[in-house]
Amino acid sequence: MQEFVKFSVPEELRNLQIDTLTKISKSGKLKIGINEVTKAIERSTAKLVVLAQDISPAEIVMHIPVICKEKNIPFTYVQTREELGKLAGISAKASAVAVVDEGVLKKEFSSLLSKIEEISGGASAKPKPEEKKTPEKKPVEKKQPAKKDVQEKKSAEEKKE
């Protein structure tokens, strides 16, 4: 197993991935290739990332699981680049694929994500908690005395002298 592979994918999940990704490639929207997948993750448009396990050298995809965890985007693996290319609906090999839009398969896609969460330990597949925005406190401005008050104060000081 390569260094970037964080968990092994059981046969049941592998079959579900193959079925769902094949359907998504026809009705949804995918980003294919390491550069496109990295951009989709950084822009938080990716909903799921799939990596091939036979990538060589491994260094070219080692960053993807790390940034997926930072952005709370689930990721999973397939055995070969050839298999991933076929799942994505292209004739070439693919090292990485990101699902940007699942199309009409919302229920199947959500069940796939929940299974991936169970297998991966849940850290990468948890949805982002929405941050509560606290109202910013405005700095308290000191009131400037009116010109009339300033002039009266100056004239009072002059009279004392």
CATH of the domain at 25: 3.30.1330.30
What local confidence, expressed as pLDDT, does residue 126 receive? 40
Domain annotation covers residue 154: no
Domain annotation covers residue 150: no
Question: What average pLDDT does the segment 11-38 reach?
Answer: 85
Domain annotation covers residue 161: no
The sign of the dihedral angle between the CA atoms of 67, 107, 10, 36 is negative
Domain annotation covers residue 5: no
Question: What average pLDDT does the segment 105-122 reach?
Answer: 79
Residue 63 φ/ψ region, left for φ over 0, alpha for ψ in the -120 to 50 degree band, beta for the rest: alpha
What is the tally of structural domains in the chain? 1
Domain annotation covers residue 26: yes
Domain annotation covers residue 135: no
- Tell whether the model's pLDDT for residue 134 goes beyond 90: no
- Contact yes or no for 74/139 (Cβ under 8 A): no
Bridge pairing between strands 29-32 and 96-101:
antiparallel
CA–chain centroid gap for 77, Å, is 17
Give the model's confidence band at 124: pLDDT under 50 very low, under 70 low, under 90 confident, else very high: very low
Supply the pTM of this predicted model: 0.67
Domain annotation covers residue 43: yes
Domain that holds residue 38: 11-120
Domain annotation covers residue 73: yes
